[in-house]
Structure 1
């Protein structure tokens, strides 16, 4: 092509047309790609800066997936905690129902010992809440027939002289209670009287015998302060008819229904296990247990005789059924804990969830239960119970307290996971905003303005047409010599 010679005008127009074509190609490329910087040759600074911003945005985008999974994992754990809370509330309601239920089984027995049983008789309780070791309750009491007394003939008064009572000067009267004695020595029998003798006996603190004159019969009487003591009479003198007395023979007396009731209800080994009441003169026994109670000392017809016969009183079946219901709820609690997983991670089993928030791994969060333990019935100190665990109201109250403590633990963990969820969601929103900022910044550096490039293309097309026209005119000027021929 170097052999072809172009005129200056044609060459100038040709160069202009070529530049316009190059500009049109560049503008077409920008319109096609939407970018004004497609390679480092277009603008090295903007190209590499935009690439760096876009790369960071892409890395954050990859972390967003982990955060989204973390949010769902926390939501799954929260679903589990919500259901566990409802289960614990149901367990608490079950225990409170057992606490309020008082449908204990009872039996009524009549007394058949008679007024003075031959020996000491017992009513025994075993089984139920009492246990295998029987607890005995006395049905009789061992007492004396009356206090020990010694009396003289009638017709005496406090003013009766000792001489009239049969004493002489210098004689003695020795009164004792079987252990200690008091000695009265007569000084002047004609002037001293029975009041002096009575005062001497009663003022002696060592002898448990009281002397008196019966106001009705006028008998000089000695009475032992304790009905298990004897009265001794001695000395050189004596009051006619006054003789020593031994301790009265003890006898067995049958307790009344009210006395038996008081004895049963005051026994510490039966308290909260067996309750007795007076049922119109009969003894009513209530078995405060879920297990069968055995009463020994009754006949087959329900008469208390203190013998070896037994009677059975059934247990509280409602409380026993509530114990089974409690165990079923506890089992469901563990299953809820095991099923609260998402994508293989179960926070309620103690799994660790680690989330990374930035591309350099310098911002992370570890989410896990307290002490990395599984949040289940064992962790909440809730084991299987048996019917006997609901026998006592105190035991039920203790179980209610344990369930309440479990509820507090679950609510505390739910609060902790809620706080973690708030952190993750907040960080996810922040990351999303950062990605938008990075992408916008990158786009600002490389993206082309479509309107501007379209206007440029229109201007270049006009320039191209004008350049083509100018080139045609220049060519026509070069053709002027041909018109001479």
Structure 2
């Protein structure tokens, strides 16, 4: 048994050294083989478990990168959709502008032939097109020798349209009393004034009097001197002046925010022969507030000419006065008033004037000739009530002559002056024929023709005027683009998530789930929404929508709003994309940091371990030689035999 073997001390010592060297070589060989200096918790518990924790966190964060990358692609898909939708909306705008520029409305020309003895009941009737299902009739006949409707106002008086100016808060004290002498220490007059809601304390003593009235002066003898001293003590928001017998406190501002209130006036006697007991007229006064700037003065009235359904509203104010070249805001003469009214009434009536009044005369005569003035009103500051003789009035023309067919020019005036046909039908003189233009995309029916000759006789014959086919085709093009808009929105998805459909994209940025972002299309109120034609306010267009330029302009205004929504949503998604991309780069950097930190705790320096191995090999050889030498000493006894 090994326990019965006795080794010399030298051999045992060299054997132990050799065993230690072999153990170190084994450890170094393991480090070289694995590349780690810490392979288990036995090597270094702190480093091992710390590195393991860092590697685990790096692994968790690495798993989140795929989700972030998918989120970036989802946002890019949504941005692709928004870009395509924006181009589609711009194409729709182009279609609308093309429709607005097109004026290829269909026309027909008719010869008027009512004979020499018209009955007076002959009419031309319009139905369909933009007119609608209710026919609009216009008389083909009129009366001869009839009077025109005329209205004359009452007496004129000059009119001032300058609004009242704003005033400042002002308070005037009572009459100045006896003189004030400040020749003793402690003599003071303290006045507290609230200016625009802020108190100012003005303290008069010998120093203040001398600073204002001159070196050595200690006595204030009148209201002028008192006002000077107080004004020097006041700050910029307060002005103090004199009326000669009293002191006036005024705010430097004007309007309803300007206010003055005297809070107190206190005299203090410092002793001596001359006593300070009076306040020389300054007493506590209630608040006085300035007035706001007066509102603009206005005179307005409605005038209906020849029974117009919608009357013209005439508004006379400073701006209207300036339009006729008068910049003093005052109407000085009746002729000037007539000129201002005439600039707003337009065709259909003549606006004239006498020496004292304005006259209104219809351009037509007979029973259909009518001038109706209503709703005369004045408004503005300063109790403005001057109407310069305008009053509610109505006057109808008289029909005193016989019945006659209207000329082509008279029919042009009558048709174009009919409110129910305005913007729907337009008449003109086509070389002696009455030309009717259908301002619509739908067919217009004209009734009042001779069924055989096609002449305009007031008969029962009809004629159809086609609609504007160019605008009709552009309506179809507009609706096709609208349909494509919705399809683009539906196709802008990635991995089943479509932000343009209102889907919610939630991304997690850290391994604990405490850092997240939720991305969704929302309106200005923060409510979720989809991006499509309905939420953009783009409705399906109909042919009547393209009948008038005004209708097209209304749709164009809606398209501008839609582009604003798209650009705002694109900006929002762009901001979110920047956040996710930044977070992705941050996560990559963190993973690298964690892995590098973990490796620094457990990885071995192979160069150092190789050098250690070489040294241990040398030590092993030397230990083996030393062990051999120690054994030779034990073998010396064998030489005796």
Q: Provide the TM-score with structure 1 as the length reference.
A: 0.77
CA distance in 2, matches of 1:293, 1:248: 33
Residue 127 of structure 2 corresponds to which residue in structure 1? 126
Partner of residue 418 from structure 1, selected from 556, 574, 578: 574
Residues 387, 49 of structure 1: alpha-carbon distance in 2 compared, 3 angstrom cutoff: same
Tell me whether 461-470 or 256-265 shows the greater mean CA deviation: 461-470
Structure ranking higher in strand proportion: 2
> Helix, strand or coil: the match of 2:422?
coil
CA distance in 1, matches of 2:640, 2:14: 26
Residue 426 of structure 2 corresponds to which residue in structure 1? 275
Question: What does residue range 112-191 of structure 1 map to in structure 2 within 5 Å?
Answer: 112-144=113-145
Partner of residue 334 from structure 1, selected from 478, 482, 486: 486
Residue 402 of structure 2 corresponds to which residue in structure 1? 251
Q: Does the 8 A contact of 1:139 with 1:255 survive in 2?
A: yes
Residue 344 of structure 1 corresponds to which residue in structure 2? 496
Question: What does residue range 340-379 of structure 1 map to in structure 2 within 5 Å?
Answer: 340-370=492-522, 371-379=527-535
Residue 442, structure 1, aligned to residue 622, structure 2: no
CA distance in 2, matches of 1:145, 1:385: 48
Question: What does residue range 185-204 of structure 1 map to in structure 2 within 5 Å?
Answer: none
Residue 475, structure 1, aligned to residue 619, structure 2: no
Question: What does residue range 97-108 of structure 1 map to in structure 2 within 5 Å?
Answer: 97-108=98-109
Partner of residue 622 from structure 2, selected from 454, 462, 466: 466
Deviations 1:380-433 (A, max 9, x none): 111211222111111111111111111110110000010111111111111221
CA distance in 1, matches of 2:399, 2:441: 48
Residue 35 of structure 1 corresponds to which residue in structure 2? 36
Partner of residue 435 from structure 2, selected from 284, 309, 316: 284
How big is the shift at 1:482?
Answer: 2.6
Residue 263, structure 1, aligned to residue 263, structure 2: no
Partner of residue 561 from structure 2, selected from 380, 405, 413: 405
Q: Does the 8 A contact of 1:125 with 1:296 survive in 2?
A: yes
> Helix, strand or coil: the match of 1:355?
strand
Deviations 1:429-449 (A, max 9, x none): 112212222211111111111
CA distance in 1, matches of 2:615, 2:117: 136
CA distance in 1, matches of 2:621, 2:428: 122
> Helix, strand or coil: the match of 2:580?
helix
Aligned residue pair count? 389
Q: Does the 8 A contact of 1:291 with 1:388 survive in 2?
A: yes
CA distance in 1, matches of 2:144, 2:410: 15
CA distance in 2, matches of 1:266, 1:28: 110
CA distance in 2, matches of 1:3, 1:32: 39
CA distance in 1, matches of 2:515, 2:537: 36
> Helix, strand or coil: the match of 1:312?
strand
How big is the shift at 1:298?
Answer: 1.9
Residue 65 of structure 1 corresponds to which residue in structure 2? 66
Deviations 1:46-85 (A, max 9, x none): 1111122222222211222221111111111111111111
Residue 9 of structure 2 corresponds to which residue in structure 1? 8
CA distance in 2, matches of 1:479, 1:124: 147
Q: Provide the TM-score with structure 2 as the length reference.
A: 0.58
Residues 145, 393 of structure 1: alpha-carbon distance in 2 compared, 3 angstrom cutoff: closer
Q: Does the 8 A contact of 2:454 with 2:461 survive in 1?
A: no
How big is the shift at 1:340?
Answer: 0.9
Deviations 1:320-340 (A, max 9, x none): 111111111111111111111
Q: Does the 8 A contact of 2:106 with 2:438 survive in 1?
A: yes
Structure ranking higher in helix proportion: 1
